[in-house]
């Protein structure tokens, strides 16, 4: 009876919903911008080789940044600044795609975006694990991943609806709207967490 009563006293925490909504908005912004990126690179004189370099460097940077993120997440007392900073940087640079005139400028923007994602990723996962009861970690990550997936669908659809009227550069500017909302939700909705009990052997995924 005690176990049953204690489980009833643990609602889905605010942080889980805040992270989920932030993920949905952030992924919507990302997919809006990057769905049109191959065609945009071609329009400014680039090609498959340049696209391959951009994406290869960007994903490598994200992987390396996760190492630093994990190190920092284990040592800092406040992880929200890492998460919020990652969302701010990523969504501040995406609209700059509307101003570029060469593929190497896109490389710089993608570098910053993926670095920011790598830095915030591990800290976010730790905060999610610390926000919920150990018996509900899987449900929390499932909710956030489903919101991620929803954003990955909404983004391309939004870009498709906008590109005919506003062009590719207009889509990049429009991505600032869900991106800005993602920052706002992360800032106001996510609360700092406390370090989890060492007995909780949660396995986190980026």
Residue 115 domain boundaries = 14-189
| Measured CA distances, 12 to 20, 46, 83, 131, 152 (Å) | 12, 47, 20, 9, 24
- For residue 8, being part of any structural domain is answered with no
Two tokens, residue 205: 């995924």
Largest CA distance in the chain: 68
- At 26-75, the pLDDT tens digits run 999 999 999 999 999 999 999 999 999 999 999 999 989 988 888 888 88
Nearest to 31 by CA among 163, 121, 157, 119: 157
Does any domain span residue 196?
no
User: Number of structural domains, the chain?
Assistant: 1
Its pTM stands at: 0.85
The enclosing domain of 20 has a CATH number of 1.20.1250.20
The answer to whether residue 74 sits within a structural domain is yes
Residue partners of 155: CB distance under 8 A and separation at least 6: 27, 28, 29, 30, 31, 32, 33, 35, 175, 178
Say if 162 falls within a structural domain.
yes
- Residue 120 CA: distances (Å) to CA of 152, 159, 172, 198: 19, 26, 22, 22
**Is residue 203 domain-resident?**
no
In a domain, 206, yes or no: no
Helix axes 80-93, 14-35, angle to 10 degrees: 20
Closest CA to 33 of 69, 60, 58, 64: 58
User: Is 63 within a domain?
Assistant: yes
Q: Block means of pLDDT (10 residues each) for the chain, length 206 residues?
A: 46 85 97 95 93 94 88 86 95 97 96 94 90 86 94 97 96 98 96 64 41
Instruction: Report the distance separating Cα 159 and Cα 114, nearest Å.
Output: 21
């Amino acid at each position: 009876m005690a176990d049953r009563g204690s489980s009833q006293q643990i609602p889905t925490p605010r942080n889980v919903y805040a992270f989920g909504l932030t993920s949905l908005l952030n992924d919507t912004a990302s997919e809006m911008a990057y769905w049109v990126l191959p065609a945009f690179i071609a329009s400014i004189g680039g090609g498959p080789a340049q696209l391959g370099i951009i994406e290869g460097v960007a994903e490598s940077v994200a992987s390396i940044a996760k190492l630093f993120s994990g190190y920092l997440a284990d040592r800092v007392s406040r992880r929200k600044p890492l998460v919020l900073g990652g969302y701010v940087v990523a969504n501040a640079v995406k609209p700059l795609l509307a101003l570029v005139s060469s593929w190497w400028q896109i490389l710089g923007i993608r570098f910053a975006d993926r670095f920011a994602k790598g830095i915030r990723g591990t800290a976010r996962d730790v905060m999610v694990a610390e926000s919920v009861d150990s018996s509900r970690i899987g449900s929390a990550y499932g909710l956030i991943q489903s919101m991620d997936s929803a954003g990955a669908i909404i983004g391309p659809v939004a870009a498709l609806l906008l590109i005919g009227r506003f062009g590719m550069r207009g889509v990049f500017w429009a991505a600032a709207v869900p991106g800005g909302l993602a920052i706002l939700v992360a800032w106001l909705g996510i609360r700092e967490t406390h370090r989890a009990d060492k007995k909780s052997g949660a396995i986190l995924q980026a």
